[in-house]
Amino acid sequence: MHHVDRHDPAIRTWTAEAIRRVEADANRSCDTHLHVFPLPARWGVNLYLKDESVHPTGSLKHRLARSLFLYGLANGWIGPSTTVVEASSGSTAVSEAYFARLLGLPFIAVMPASTSPEKISLIEFYGGKCHLVDDPGAIYAESRRLAEETGGHFMDQFTYAERATDWRGNNNIAESIFSQMAMEPHPEPAWIVVGAGTGGTSSTIGRYIRYRRHLTRLAVVDPEGSAFYPSWCSGDAAVTAPGSRIEGIGRPRVEPSFLPTVIDRMIQVPDARSIAAMRWVREVTGRDVGGSTGTNVAAAVQLIGEMREAGERGSVVTLICDGGERYRCTYGDDAWLAERGLDIAPHLAEFRDFLNRP
């Protein structure tokens, strides 16, 4: 009889402790808040913002990073000396740098050179290194090269996001939304509105809605310059695009984690409108939010308008993806907008008028 035994007790013990640390991080964190956005009561429509910016690393991507680390640890891809490499426009890399530091592992983020300085500083604060590339389309190949060069592991959020999260429950974001909505006037949302970066969040929510037999519809918003919207409309997964100026959502190609079949509707939002909505949310709620949140809210406003025209009552839920402090030098800077020909004034005026409609 022949056999090969590769069991390493030391590595198994380290992996068990690493998983305990990641799970303990989740156990220490309360669920994220679900805020009511102030709409006129006479409308009979409620808007809720689930605030993912209160995670320890300040964004929705904290959930994804936790899931990706657990997935890599459980699969045996991450060990006690593994260099973790990720291709990211910022927030995922911030969160992964946090978990890498938690486990004592080196971390390299491969990012477009256009990534905001605030996000670069956050990655470095958590001990990560930033590897900037001029061509956003090159981040995948460069990440693989660095992983091979260091003997590390390429996390590849764009491939594994939809499979690393347990979409059936286990306190995923979908289960959290429906649990928190249970005592609201319209507990089953008419719409849940999210953006797509990897596609992991939309896949998780879309699957959960079907699995739990809810009638809720899923709307996915996409910024201009992204490949997701034209691909979803045409059914052509090979569509490419220049890429998005709204960090965290939109991609120059259709990512493997994007699952079009669970999406009921897609809405494309111009960048100027996203940024106007971002600033409007701060005016109305006092909450400083980022550009992708503006994209979400812009689409939510459109859906609410349609519900009112149809005489429909109900609730709409969307996400605060991260805080506006990460975009002081970009979306929060009027000079930056002017340099790029982004005129937010007409959109901002329209949003301000929205709450005054009869």
The full DSSP string for 269-303 is: E-HHHHHHHHHHHHHHH---B-HHHHHHHHHHHHH
Region 90-114: mean pLDDT is: 94
Check residue 315 and give its pLDDT: 98
Contact 63, 52 (CB under 8 A): yes
Query: In the beta sheet, which residues pair with residue 49?
Result: 35, 318
Q: Which of 299, 353, 290 is nearest to 327 (CA)?
A: 290
Least confident of 72-76, 153-157, 245-249: 245-249
Strands (E), 31-113: 33-37, 45-51, 84-87, 107-112
Q: Check residues 341 and 91 and name the one with the higher pLDDT.
A: 341
Amino acid, single-letter form, for residue 49: L
CA separation (Å) from 229 to 190, 305, 345? 21, 21, 25
Region 193-201: mean pLDDT is: 94
pLDDT category at 171 given cuts 50, 70, 90 is: low
51 has pLDDT over 90: yes
Check residue 235 and give its pLDDT: 96
Check residue 119 and give its pLDDT: 82
pLDDT in tens, 249-304: 999 999 999 999 999 999 999 999 999 999 999 999 999 999 999 999 999 999 99
Check residue 136 and give its pLDDT: 79
Q: What percent of the chain has pLDDT over 70?
A: 99
Q: What are phi and psi of 191, to 5 degrees?
A: -140, 140
Give 48's Cβ-side CA count (13 Å radius). Answer: 24
Cα 272 from Cα 347, distance rounded (Å): 7
CA separation (Å) from 62 to 52, 93, 250, 288, 335? 8, 9, 18, 18, 31
Region 187-193: mean pLDDT is: 98
Cα 190 from Cα 207, distance rounded (Å): 16
**Which one-letter DSSP state was computed for residue 32?**
P
Q: What percent of the chain has pLDDT over 90?
A: 84
Strands of the sheet containing 45-51, edge to edge, are: 33-37, 45-51, 314-320, 191-195, 217-223, 265-269
Region 204-231: mean pLDDT is: 97
pLDDT in tens, 223-239: 999 999 999 999 999 99
Region 191-216: mean pLDDT is: 96
Cα 238 from Cα 241, distance rounded (Å): 10
89 has pLDDT over 80: no
Check residue 276 and give its pLDDT: 98
